[in-house]
């Protein structure tokens, strides 16, 4: 893999993707011919899902080839084995499907080196499936979570909205709590995207695409969020005027609601007069203000001063990257706390709710 240039790997990945639809159809038809009981069991809908799944396999396979590393596809393979295993589909069928895809794609390649790259990646993924399927369920939750996160990062960097939504929703259905999903998967994935952008490993357009994909995921996860009958209090979350970063505040709003808070999320870049007006119409026990860019800190000071003048004054929590570089400002503004991330925001809100 290391002997192939990035240009050669990118060209191969692009060619594989041009064959995605035909190969997905071909291998699914072959699979159902070899396993006619599956057609009885799952019907035409199952065949259509098989085509979609094969397409996902090829997407992630192409991504690993372009990256020049087997690791991304190994992570995806482990995740696939766990996700389908929870539905009674054995790892052997996943490995068989990978082998079918490799054969079908290899028939469409003339270059022996390209076939070798393809075989290397698929063989590594199959070994990962074998190891993962031999590990008792629940024996290594940290490894499982890391694998889910790695696969999620790949999906959002590629702008694969359906794949990213599937990964997140399957994590929830597999028993990962909402707070763990938001904190340990989605938030950490966004941090990784940020690190890649800072190191010039990805372009700003790809960073924006990843963020937009996460916003779609949050909407899908929110729709599946079960109601929480706990009555922890009311919360109002917003960003100051001029602040355009919304995803972090959106995640905290969802996480608080999942934890039993009645939440109103105003979005970001809100005129301060409008925020105060909404609060006065329906006061909240807790107000959270998000600020990512440090040049918006003067706006934070202005909004905090307006909130401090309210009667009754709500509990006030500040959050966002801007405060990490100005920790003393949190104390100067006499807020009730600073929440650097989703998990700490939920825990802080709980403690403030109990104290009120």
Residue bearing the bigger pLDDT, 147 or 100: 100
The mean pLDDT of the chain is 89
What is the reported pLDDT for 346?
Answer: 96
Nearest to 307 by CA among 261, 270, 343, 272: 272
pLDDT cut 90: percent of the chain above it: 61
Query: What count of other Cβ atoms lies within 10 Å of the Cβ of residue 95?
Result: 20
- Count Cα neighbours of 28 within 13 Å in the Cβ-side half-sphere: 24
Which two three-digit tokens encode residue 285?
A: 């026990």
Which two three-digit tokens encode residue 168?
A: 């997140």
What is the spatial distance between Cα 304 and Cα 289, in angstroms, rounded to a whole number? 9
* Model pTM above 0.85: no
Among 132-141, 171-180, 339-348, which is the least confidently predicted range?
A: 132-141
* 1: pLDDT strictly greater than 60: no
**SS3 call for 317:** strand
What is the reported pLDDT for 138?
Answer: 44
Cα 141 to Cα 138, 165, 170, 174: the distances in Å are 6, 21, 15, 11
34-49 residue pLDDT tens: 999 998 888 889 999 9
Domain extents in the chain: 6-224, 233-355
164-173 residue pLDDT tens: 999 999 888 8
What is the reported pLDDT for 139?
Answer: 41
The answer to whether 248 and 292 have CB atoms below 8 angstroms apart is yes
What is the reported pLDDT for 311?
Answer: 85
> Residue 105, exposed/middle/buried by CB under 10 A (0-12, 13-18, 19+)?
buried
108-163 residue pLDDT tens: 999 999 999 999 999 999 998 887 665 544 444 466 688 889 999 999 999 999 99
pLDDT cut 70: percent of the chain above it: 94
66-99 residue pLDDT tens: 878 888 888 889 888 888 887 788 999 999 999 9
Cα 338 to Cα 254, 281, 352: the distances in Å are 18, 26, 12
What is the reported pLDDT for 201?
Answer: 87
185-239 residue pLDDT tens: 999 999 999 888 878 888 989 999 999 999 999 999 999 888 888 889 999 999 9
Q: What is the mean pLDDT of residues 272-278?
A: 96
Q: Which CATH number fits domain 233-355: 3.40.50.280, 3.40.50.2000, 3.40.718.10, 3.40.50.2300?
A: 3.40.50.280
Nearest to 188 by CA among 220, 156, 141: 156
């Amino acid at each position: 893999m290391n002997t192939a240039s990035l240009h050669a790997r990118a060209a191969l990945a692009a060619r594989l993707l041009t064959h995605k639809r035909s190969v997905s159809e071909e291998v699914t038809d072959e699979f159902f011919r070899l396993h006619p009981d599956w057609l009885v069991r799952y019907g035409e809908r199952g065949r259509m899902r098989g085509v979609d799944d094969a397409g996902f396999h090829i997407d992630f396979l192409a991504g690993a080839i372009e990256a020049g590393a087997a690791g991304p596809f190994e992570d995806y393979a482990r995740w696939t084995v766990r996700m389908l295993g929870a539905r009674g589909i054995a790892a052997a069928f996943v490995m068989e499907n990978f082998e079918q895809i490799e054969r079908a794609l290899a028939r469409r390649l003339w270059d022996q080196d390209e076939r070798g790259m393809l075989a290397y990646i698929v063989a590594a993924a199959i070994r990962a499936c074998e190891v993962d399927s031999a590990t008792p369920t629940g024996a290594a939750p940290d490894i499982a979570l890391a694998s889910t996160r790695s696969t999620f990062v790949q999906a959002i960097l590629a702008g694969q909205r359906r794949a990213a939504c599937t990964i997140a929703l399957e994590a929830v259905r597999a028993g990962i709590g909402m707070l763990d999903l938001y904190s340990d998967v989605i938030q950490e994935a966004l941090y990784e995207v940020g690190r890649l952008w800072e190191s010039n490993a990805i372009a700003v357009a790809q960073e924006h695409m990843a963020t937009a994909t996460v916003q779609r995921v949050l909407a899908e996860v929110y729709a599946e969020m079960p109601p929480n009958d706990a009555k922890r209090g009311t919360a109002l979350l917003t960003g100051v005027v001029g602040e355009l970063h919304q995803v972090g505040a959106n995640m905290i709003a969802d996480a608080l609601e999942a934890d039993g808070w009645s939440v109103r999320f105003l979005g970001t870049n809100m005129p301060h007069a409008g925020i105060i007006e909404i609060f006065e119409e329906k006061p909240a026990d807790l107000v959270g203000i998000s600020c990512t860019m440090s040049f918006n800190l003067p706006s934070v000071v202005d909004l905090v001063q307006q909130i401090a003048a309210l009667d009754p004054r709500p509990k006030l929590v500040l959050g966002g990257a801007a405060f990490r570089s100005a920790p003393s400002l949190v104390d100067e503004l006499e807020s009730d706390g600073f929440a650097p991330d989703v998990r700490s925001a939920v825990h802080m809100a709980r403690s403030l709710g109990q104290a009120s």
